[in-house]
Amino acid sequence: MDVKTLIQKSIQYRKRTLKAIKTANAGHTGGDLSCLDILNVLYNHVMNISPDNMQSPDRDRFIQSKGHSVEALYVVLSDKGFFPDSALDTICQYQSDFIGHPTRKIPGVEQNTGALGHGLSVAVGLALAAKMDERAYRVFTLMGDGELTEGSLWEASMSAAHYKLDNLVVIVDRNGLQITGKTEEVMALEPLGQKFEAFGYAVKTVDGNDIPALLNMFSQLPFEPGKPSLILASTVKGKGISFMEHKADWHHHVPTDEEMLIALRELDAALETQVG
Amino acid sequence: MSAVLSSGKANLEVFADILLETGVQDRDLVVVTSDSRGSGKLTGFGKKLPAQMVEIGIAEQNLVGVAAGLAAAGKKTFAVSPACFLTARSLEQIKNDVAYSDQPVRLVGISAGVSYGALGTTHHSLHDLAVLQAINNITIVVPADNYETREAVRAAYEQNKPVYLRFGKKSMPALPHNPGDFEIGKGRVLREGDDVLFVATGEAVLPAFQAAEELELHGIMSTVISMHTVKPLDTDLLKTYADRCRAVITVEEHSIHGGLGSACASYLLQVGYHKPFHIVAIPDEPTVSGSQGEIFNHYGISAEGLSQLAMNMLVEKEQIA
């Protein structure tokens, strides 16, 4: 998929995500918007995952460790044809399968997530199985930066390096904010890149909201033979909506009617710039 | 001691033997360990089938998460770790990554209950049946002897669902069995009598069986059920024999809270059972120090303790009647 189409898709995805959150009257707005460009590039350009190949043992695997950014994932999966768009209007509704974190009841979702610090271990298991079976599939997992304080991730990191899982790709949505405020004030993570390197990853940093930069980054996988790849994706929480950007308050805030109008107007203007 | 009981191996050794036998046949069988291959009797497996063993190191959360990922990729996964750590340290991984995600991991808690005896509370698992019973989509199996172990491991291997297998480390004599009488979810009746019903699980079945034999010398006839599957509980069998007997005693190597006894009591109360009922388990107090046998004796999980309790219960019942 070409860059222009991907950029337009990101804007459309943002619109649909906000509408879904508004309908559900719930959702993790800030984190959805920060990781949407990454999900877009992964699903539309990098990973061989589609409704047609979900039974294939050779499909790539995606585990969304930051499960709370589920609205963004649902929007991308819906666009990929895993389920109709109308399903997005059932998010968090009574008896809907579309709950507020990913579950395997939803076509396209590989693993139930939501508790932080779990996705990487599962991804390691999937990547290990690929090595055992000499299969060429890759395993991608998306983590939030707030969840990096979970000790289990560092256990998993040790095993990823120990087993030389160069078929594993870990992406950190480094938006710098978590529900309480700045990650560095809640519990300092830096120097994050050095920590990951010390744990045995081949680490690269990228602007995680820059589609061409992401495409370039993913084209270099694996970064180093015999090492798991880690992408430290610098992102903006609330990306794309002027009054949501860089605001911890938008972690799970639902836009008011007025805020929705402004947000959609901003996205439509961005879309016009792209189309025009 | 009973004349009918012949000597056997530790259930854990039988488990390891079957795993190796099956692993040779099925290259998709994978064992995941947390620096626990020695205590899990799996050193031989690791030597013979190194490509089918994944060492995680002392990191139980990662052990269970990785096992879930391997299972998701189609591997027949056994995650082996001391029960005390497996079901506490990694409880959230069991709940979410295995049970909730429906990944068919066979979780194997080794040296369970008070098998580690004098090593103390850190190494005891007296909570595992309680916490796992409260988690949806996981079968809990606690084999009593080598026969049940063999059958349980085979059944867990074939059943592509989350399961918890719990093993002690003591050599277990062979209890009576008929070929083909083991099925997950179905208790086994080891002997029958209409006075007392013993419902026991795991290594606590043996003292219950011995108590029944001792009671017979006093003219008291007992039924002994090996309730190897704690969840789902075989309530039909429980009710049938509870109705027939004059008193029920449950026996387990677990806290008095939330284990087999609680499950039986909860069920029987709701179906209107109102005869004498007693849960024999480890009480809610700092556990006495000692070997497994000494701890069992201390808390009456013994032929003597259980037969005495049964006689007292029957006498009290007569007095009330």
CA gap B83, B109 in Å, rounded = 4
CB contact under 8 A, B71 and A104: no
Domains, chain B, in order of start with CATH, read: 11-166 (3.40.50.970), 188-320 (3.40.50.920)
Residue of A64, A68, A133, A152 for testing the chain B interface, max B β-carbons within 10 Å = A152
CA gap A22, B37 in Å, rounded = 52
pLDDT score at B3: 46
Residues of B with CB under 8 A from a CB of A: 30, 51, 54, 56-57, 59, 61-62, 64-75, 92-93, 96-97, 100-103
Q: Which fold has domain A3-275?
A: Rossmann fold (3.40.50)
pLDDT score at A276: 67
CA proximity to A268, closest of A5, A3, A11, A21: A11
Residues found in chain A? 276
Residue of B31, B54, B62, B137 for testing the chain A interface, max A β-carbons within 10 Å = B62
Mean pLDDT of B109-117: 96
- CB neighbours of residue B218 within 10 Å: 12
At residue B259's C-alpha, the angle toward residues B257 and B265, to 5°, is 85
Check whether B2 has a pLDDT greater than 70.
no
- Chain A residues within an 8 Å CB radius of B74: 57, 129
Nearest residue in chain A measured CA to CA from B89: A152
Check whether B1 has a pLDDT greater than 50.
no
CA distances (Å), origin B270, targets A111, A168, B231, B239, B303 = 37, 51, 17, 11, 30
For B155-205, what is each residue's pLDDT tens digit?
A: 999 999 999 999 999 999 999 999 999 999 999 999 999 999 999 999 999
Please answer whether residues B90 and B262 qualify as being in contact, where contact means their C-beta atoms are separated by less than 8 angstroms: no
* Residue B109 per-residue DSSP state: E
Measured between CA atoms, how close is A127 to chain B, in angstroms? Answer: 8
Mean pLDDT of chain B: 96
CB contact under 8 A, A126 and B69: yes
Mean pLDDT of B28-45: 94
Q: What is the ipTM for the molecules in this complex? A: 0.96
Per DSSP, the residues of B178-206 read: -TT--BTTB-EEEE--SSEEEEE-GGGHH
Residues of A with CB under 8 A from a CB of B: 57, 61, 103-104, 110-115, 117-118, 120-130, 132-133, 151-152, 155-156, 158-159, 162-163
Q: Tens digit of pLDDT per residue, chain A (276 long)?
A: 899 999 999 999 999 999 999 999 999 999 999 999 999 999 999 999 999 999 999 999 999 999 999 999 999 999 999 999 999 999 999 999 999 999 999 999 999 999 999 999 999 999 999 999 999 999 999 999 999 999 999 999 999 999 999 999 999 999 999 999 999 999 999 999 999 999 999 999 999 999 999 999 999 999 999 999 999 999 999 999 999 999 999 998 999 999 999 999 999 999 999 876
| First-to-last C-alpha distance (Å) of chain A | 19
- Chain A residues within an 8 Å CB radius of B65: 118, 120-122, 124-125, 152, 156
CB contact under 8 A, B75 and A129: yes
Compute φ and ψ for A74, nearest 5 degrees.
Answer: -60, -40
Measured between CA atoms, how close is B78 to chain A, in angstroms? Answer: 13
pLDDT score at B321: 60
pLDDT score at B162: 98
CA proximity to B53, closest of B72, B27, B73, B74: B27
Measured between CA atoms, how close is A126 to chain B, in angstroms? Answer: 5
The reported pTM is 0.96
pLDDT score at B319: 74
CA distances (Å), origin B218, targets A89, B35, B195, B300 = 71, 49, 12, 19
Please answer whether residues A145 and A180 qualify as being in contact, where contact means their C-beta atoms are separated by less than 8 angstroms: no
- Chain B residues within an 8 Å CB radius of A124: 62, 65-66, 69
CB contact under 8 A, B68 and A111: yes
Per DSSP, the three-state class of A229 is: strand
Measured between CA atoms, how close is B278 to chain A, in angstroms? Answer: 39
- Chain A residues within an 8 Å CB radius of B66: 121-122, 124-125, 128, 156, 159
Please answer whether residues A120 and A156 qualify as being in contact, where contact means their C-beta atoms are separated by less than 8 angstroms: yes
pLDDT score at B316: 83
For B245-281, what is each residue's pLDDT tens digit?
A: 999 999 999 999 999 999 999 999 999 999 999 999 9
Nearest residue in chain A measured CA to CA from B30: A129
- Give the closest of A57, A155, A163 to B59, CB-based: A155
Place of tokens 């990650």: A183
- Give the closest of B54, B72, B92 to A122, CB-based: B72
Measured between CA atoms, how close is B102 to chain A, in angstroms? Answer: 9
